[in-house]
Amino acid sequence: RSFAASAALAHAVFVPEVRHAVEVPADQEAHLVNWLSKRLAAPVRVPHLASSGWDLLGGRLLPGEPGPLAQFMYQDKGGRRLTLLVSHKAAPDVATSAFRYEQRDHIGVFYWVDGAYNYALSADLPRAELLTLADAVYQELSRN
C-alpha cells in the first residue's frame, strides 16, 4: 500500500472517534513529541495550525512500512478534522519532492517527501483548502 493510501486509511479509521481520536492529547504535547520521536528514532515536530483555524487534538503511534508512523489530528471550530501522518526513513531522499495529491473516496491526501521524512495531510476538504493547509504545514516544518 502507498503512503498516501495508508494516510487516508488511518484518517478514515480515527477521525470518527469521539473519545479515542488520539492516544496522547494536545495538553501533553511535550510528552507526545518525545514519545513519537523516540519510536520513530528521529526528531518529530508538530506543526501548529491555530492561525489557520485548526487546533491540535493530539496524536498517536501507528504501525507502518518500513517502521512506526506518527499521526497528529487537528480540528476546526466546525468540528471538521484533519490528520498529518509522518514517517522517517534511514536513507533520506536527495531532494524535496513537490506536493502530490490523491483522492481516496471522499478523503483528499496531499503528500510529500522532505529529506528523511514522508508527510501526508488528509481530510474531507476541498482540494484547494487542503493544499493551503499542506503548504502551511510544509512552511512551518521547514523553519529551523
From the list 118, 113, 108, the residue with the least C-alpha distance to 85 is: 118
Residue 94: pLDDT band by 50, 70, 90 thresholds? low
Which pLDDT value is given to residue 98?
Answer: 83
**pTM score of the predicted model:** 0.94
At residue 5, what are phi and psi to the nearest 5 degrees?
A: -65, -40
Under 8 Å between Cβ of 39 and 52: no
Q: Of 113-117, 127-131, 133-137, which range is least confident?
A: 113-117
Helix residue spans in 23-104 (DSSP H) = 29-40
**What pLDDT score was predicted for residue 96?**
63
11-27 pLDDT, tens per residue?
999 999 988 999 999 99
CA 115 to chain CA centroid, Å, is 16
